[in-house]
Amino acid sequence: MKPTKMIHGLGQSLWLDNITRDLLGSGALQRYIDEFSVTGLTSNPTIFDHAIKKSTDYDDDISQGASRAESREDLFFNLALTDLTRAADLFRPIYDRTDGIDGWVSLEVSPSLAYDTQRSLAAARDLHGRAGKSNLFIKIPGTAEGLPAIESAIFAGVPINVTLLFSCEQYVAAAEAYLRGIERRIEAGLNPNVASVASLFVSRWDVAVSGKVPAELTNRLGIAIAQRTYKAYAELLASPRFQRAANSGARAQRLLWASTGTKDPKASDILYVKALAAPFTINTMPDATLKAFADHGDVGEVLRTDGGDCEKTLTAFAKAGIDIDALADRLQKEGAASFVDSWNDLMACVESKSAAMRKAS
C-alpha cells in the first residue's frame, strides 16, 4: 500500500499545493487523485504567477479576454477561475462522496486586501459567486483586519480557507471568527453548515531561525508550533461552545498544514509530512513533496492531542533567544508582503502578455 494511501486511511487529507493548465490538461492531477489519494487542491498568487509566466498555456485566453476584462485583476481572476472550476469538477465526486468534508479547491482574494476588511468581504462574495462551484474555498488572510471579513463571509454562507496563520494564537483567533459567523447563522435561523479550513504555515518558522539556534533545535520549531496548535484544535472541538454549534448542524473548521515542503536541503524531503500525520487534518504540499512521500514515505506516530513535547521544545527556543510571539507576527506580515509581491509580478505579467498580443494583432 502506498504511503499516501496509508496516511489517508489514518484520517488525514492530502491536498496538492499547485495548479497549472498542464497539470489539468495532461491528466496529471487526475493521476494524483487516483494513485496518490489526493482529495483537494490549494492555490496562491505565487503559484499562478509561476504558471502564467513560465508557459504559453494562458496566452489565448489572455488575448481573447483582455478587451472584455474590466482590469488586470478581472482578467487574472477569469484565468484562475477557468482552472479552478475545472479542478473543482475533478474533485466533485470526492466532495459528493464525503458529503462536503473533502474535495475542495481554493482561490485567494487579492493579497493587497489583507488589511482591508470590507473589500476582502466584497471580493470573497464576488469570487465565490463568479465561480459557481460549491466546492471552492475563498482564501482570506487571518490578519487582524481579515478576521471580521472571515466572520462576515461565513455568516453570508461563503466557504473560507483562512490563510497566513503562523501561531496557535492566530489559529484560535481565526477559529473564533469562524464560530462567530456560524453562531450568527444559527441565531438568524440559517443553515450553519458552512465549510472552512484554517491554514497554519509550518516550514517558514524553521527558515526564519536557521543558523540562529543550537544544532539540536534545527528544523524543530515549525513542528512544535504545529503540535501546540493541534492541541488547541482538539480542545476547541471538545469544547461546549463547538458542541452546541455542532448540535445545531455546524461542522468543524478543519486544521490544515500549509508550507510543508522541506526548505532545508540537508533535511528529509518528507520531514513535515511524516511529523504532522494526524486524523481530521489536511496536509497541502507541492508536487515534489507529494511524489517523495508516495515513493519513500512512512507513517509513524500520529500527533498527540496533548501537544506532546511541544512546550519543552518551545521553551528551549525561548532560552536560545527566539521570541515566538514576535516572530509569529513578523512571519504573518512577511507572508502577506510576499504574496503582494507575487501579486504585483502576476499583474505585470498579465499586462505584459496582454500588451504583446494586442501589438501582434
- Between the alpha carbon of residue 344 and those of residues 17, 36, 61, 126, 296, the distances in Å are 20, 34, 20, 21, 38
Name the residue among 95, 82, 176 with its Cα closest to residue 132: 82
Note the pTM of the prediction, 2 decimals.
0.96
> Alpha helices of 282-323 — where are they, by DSSP H?
287-296, 310-319
According to DSSP, residue 283 is labeled: E
Cα–chain center distance at 77: 18
Task: State the catalytic residue, choosing from 53, 54, 133, 139.
Answer: 139
Q: Where are the domains of the chain?
A: 3-360
> pLDDT (tens digit, 0 to 9) for every residue of the chain, 361 residues total?
899 999 999 999 999 999 999 999 999 999 999 999 999 999 999 999 999 988 899 988 888 877 777 788 999 999 999 999 999 999 999 999 999 999 999 999 999 999 999 999 999 999 999 999 999 999 999 999 999 999 999 999 999 999 999 999 999 999 999 999 999 999 999 999 999 999 999 999 999 999 999 999 999 999 999 999 999 999 999 999 999 999 999 999 999 999 999 999 999 999 999 999 999 999 999 999 999 999 999 988 899 999 999 999 999 999 999 999 999 999 999 999 999 999 999 999 888 887 776 666 6
Tell me which CATH code domain 3-360 carries: 3.20.20.70
Cell of 238: 471538545
Distance CA 201, CA 332 (A): 9
* Residue tagged 483582455 (cell numbers): 66
Name the residue among 199, 217, 216 with its Cα closest to residue 208: 217
According to DSSP, residue 303 is labeled: P
Q: Phi, psi (5° rounding) for residue 205?
A: -60, -45
CB atoms within 10 A of CB 95: 23
Distance CA 84, CA 186 (A): 30
Told to judge if 2 belongs to the known catalytic residues of this protein, a careful annotator would answer: no
Distance CA 146, CA 113 (A): 8
CB atoms within 10 A of CB 61: 16
